[in-house]
Structure 1
Amino acid sequence: MKRIKIDRSKCIGCLTCVSACMVSHNSSESRNRVVISSEMKFSPIFCRNCDLPECVYTCMSGAMRKNLETGYVTYNKKKCASCYMCIMACPYGVLKEDKETKQEIMKCDMCTDLSEGPQCVIKCPMAAITLEEVESR
């Protein structure tokens, strides 16, 4: 399965990954962000598609699911009860409310609807964000 990997030593904080996410989803918000660490280094933050995803375990409606084939955590807005338990459960703080709809969750979907793949990976000018094959556990 493929996962987004970050090389923080290459990130210059240009926010191209954030812009690419917004453009690819035709949204005024991105599903990722860049923060500054305590060592004053830029750190892109993405959904980690956890092996044991707390967002899935706390989702009472089944809107959050782990796809065992791809390893990605998927979100089905039609099933979402807007309880935001997934947001509260995420240990990385990457899930958030869609401020436009106020009824959906914004979560990285790995740009699965685009044949090129994740736009944050493709557009990163420093190659700080890559898509790599990892072993499933």
Structure 2
Amino acid sequence: MPLWRRLAAPAGVLAAVAAAFAYVGTVDPNQPGHYPVCPLYALTGLYCPGCGGLRSAHAFVHGDLLGALHDNAAGVAAYLAFAVLWTLWAVRAARSLPVRLVLDRTPLWVLGSALLLFTVVRNLPFGGPIRP
């Protein structure tokens, strides 16, 4: 299979993610009326793990890493994890190696527990530094 065909899927995913980040970088989520409000926050006043994600992406695109971490530290970790996984995918596809992501239950439980802890802490009074 030619190289361009092997890299078509990773390139398409990268183009879609880049377009989404470009849009969020252009349309400021700090200005009201551009994006919908988080339904959980609107109904309960509680921050979900994704609250502040658009503001975080906007700050990240503009090179404000501290602002991105403040708005949603879990989001920044997800951006970095995506970059690593995408790179592994592209390299393995370019070398015609099989691309498999097999996760045992333990990492999934650790990730879920970390997101739950992140959510609880950001909703407690002392969680202000990680609150959007």
The TM-score normalised by the length of structure 1 is 0.27
Q: Looking at CA atoms only, which structure, 1 or 2, has the larger radius of gyration? A: 2
Task: Point out which structure has higher relative CO (alpha carbons under 8 A, 6+ apart).
Answer: 1
Instruction: Name the one with the larger strand percent.
Output: 1
Higher helix share: 2
Q: Give the TM-score, by structure 2 length.
A: 0.28
